[in-house]
Structure 1
């Protein structure tokens, strides 16, 4: 009897395996990871949750908008945009809250990644000089031979540094680049003089200024004027939600729900001041100074889009900087229409 039972169980196992294999073949184009339509589970990798660039991604959860859309969203803080991208490519996340330029970079690598919500129309990066080097560094050329901090190699801060060096007639190898992270580690590296300068984002910039006094900045892309001076355009898409094109194709309703949650959040940001927004965010993000955090958010509000749509002249500006700063992009054939979509908005 036991032998017969084992045979029957084995036969049942083979039958189930056959059914699963057939189902897999019939839905080869469908995503097998979490986040497929109907499951409600979506894992979003964030390129540094404490950064104001990605504030809407976290705020949407704090406001309960993901849940109201019927989604079970898990946010993974991956500290840098390049790491968040790698996690999604590797399959451990479904969606990335990162910078738009990654969609262009990955097309060149024959991987279709598409942005579907644009949160930031200004990049918000600041190339600041360490307070310990303020007297000796007055321009980008003074950084030659020195150590410059970025959040992580391959991240947007890194590519901005390379672009700025190239525009100034310098080579990427003229400076030594090191990773300093995005939050308190970046502040400490600058305050202690471990780097001569760094490409930073808020709230770290505001936190450093409070501790060390007004910073000497070589570039400040938190304003339209600052962006125009560098890129010649008043908008430069930065923080977005992006996913593999295949995931979007297979999960349109999930993408639409994510989009609604984020566009509602952007509308909420526009209707509330920095203090009200700070009160909704995790207390730890303020770095011990809620008032300073609220002011930084208030100053950052003009950087956010009103409706989540891609600025019309933005993609071409980003492509141009990639061709200047990224050797892999020189002469690359890029179809910008495949790097973003507004189809899930509205």
Structure 2
């Protein structure tokens, strides 16, 4: 009797296992999943906006967006095969290259990282500079994410150990605002719209900013370059090899979106986005988009000198990157972009 019951159950399990896609396999019928390292964050806005504008569908793609807390979670999902592509920071392609893992960016969305380090109005100690973060509790979207990398890099610039501040995962949206507002962290690496919402809630004068990379000036001051590759679409080399056509279609949809962003106002962009992303304050959301708008790439390209700058930054606090002989040209490609761009 038990054998008769278990036999059909086992058959179903085996069938489902056979049907489940393996990492790197071809995405049949244009169906694919993009893992996003915090979907409401403005740094990843083009990924969602492309779907809202119907540009994925125009390319014959059936795209599912999976919202994940932080870039490290999205990278884990890619490695585990639960997503095909990641909308995350280019940092992770360099990080994986140091581990001899083939991960490549194939369209760039953000040319300024747009990260802000701000001090909580209820910080447990005086914090006037990056050096004062030593011994502080600092919020990041998730440990191992690009917000965490940014903090460690700036601590290193001050001659401090990368672990001289205690990091705490606070996410990137309302949870980060709450952590700062309530003093659960002394400072945080924040992104818009959360940062602008915090300023609106407690008063801009009450939020001290230690550094701001939403502008070219901020990027030059922190990284010494005019542009610094940030949010991109990336995947494994195997997936790109097996999905050349799908990757080109994705890149085309994103480039069309970047062009649309460049040609429309912050108000018009906000009108296309999910209402809940404004977190109940549309005016602040529109203002946030206006502040970050210039940070979006114009054409999806990623420059070699920017890629090398990222490698140099990560090498300062990740021993694996420092020791590895990384050819940055293997970590990104502009070949998937529309021909008029690439």
TM-score (norm 1): 0.89
What is the CA distance between 1:328 and its match in structure 2? 2.2
What is the CA distance between 1:326 and its match in structure 2? 1.5
What is the CA distance between 1:132 and its match in structure 2? 1.7
Match for residue 257 of structure 2 among 262, 265, 287: 265
CA contact (8 A) 1:113 1:244 kept: yes
2:299 & 2:132 partners in 1: Cα distance? Answer: 41
Residue in 2 that maps onto 1:75: 65
Give the 3-state SS of the residue equivalent to 1:73 in structure 2: strand
CA contact (8 A) 1:34 1:42 kept: no
1:64 & 1:53 partners in 2: Cα distance? Answer: 20
Task: Provide, for residues 154-202 of structure 1, a one-character-per-residue CA deviation record: whole Å limited to 9, x for no partner.
Answer: 0000010000000001112221111011100000000111111010111
Residue in 1 that maps onto 2:297: 305
CA contact (8 A) 1:34 1:43 kept: no
1:42 & 1:131 partners in 2: Cα distance? Answer: 43
1:311 & 1:303 partners in 2: Cα distance? Answer: 15
Residue in 2 that maps onto 1:24: none
> Aligned Cα RMSD in Å?
1.8
1:227 & 1:253 partners in 2: Cα distance? Answer: 34
Task: Provide, for residues 259-307 of structure 1, a one-character-per-residue CA deviation record: whole Å limited to 9, x for no partner.
Answer: 1110000000001000000000000000101111011111111100111
Residue in 2 that maps onto 1:190: 180
CA contact (8 A) 1:35 1:42 kept: no
Residue in 2 that maps onto 1:279: 271
What is the CA distance between 1:148 and its match in structure 2? 0.6
CA contact (8 A) 1:35 1:254 kept: no
Residue in 2 that maps onto 1:165: 155
TM-score (norm 2): 0.90
Unaligned 5+ segments in structure 2 are: 1-10
Residue in 1 that maps onto 2:7: none
Residue in 2 that maps onto 1:97: 87
CA contact (8 A) 2:156 2:317 kept: yes
Which structure has the bigger radius of gyration? 1
What is the CA distance between 1:225 and its match in structure 2? 0.4
Unaligned 5+ segments in structure 1 are: 1-12, 22-30
Match for residue 60 of structure 1 among 50, 53, 63: 50
CA contact (8 A) 2:118 2:210 kept: yes
User: Structure 1 159/34 Cα, relative in aligned 2: closer, same or farther at 3 Å?
Assistant: closer
CA contact (8 A) 1:129 1:218 kept: yes
1:176 & 1:84 partners in 2: Cα distance? Answer: 22
292-301 or 56-65, larger mean C-alpha shift: 292-301
Give the 3-state SS of the residue equivalent to 2:199 in structure 1: helix
327-336 or 129-138, larger mean C-alpha shift: 129-138
2:250 & 2:57 partners in 1: Cα distance? Answer: 10
Query: Which runs of 4 or more aligned residues in structure 1 lie more than 2 Å from their structure 2 counterparts after TM superposition?
Result: 31-38
Residue in 2 that maps onto 1:5: none
CA contact (8 A) 1:134 1:216 kept: no
1:235 & 1:80 partners in 2: Cα distance? Answer: 22
- The residue correspondences of 1:193-342 to structure 2 (distance < 5 A) are 193-214=183-204, 215-342=207-334
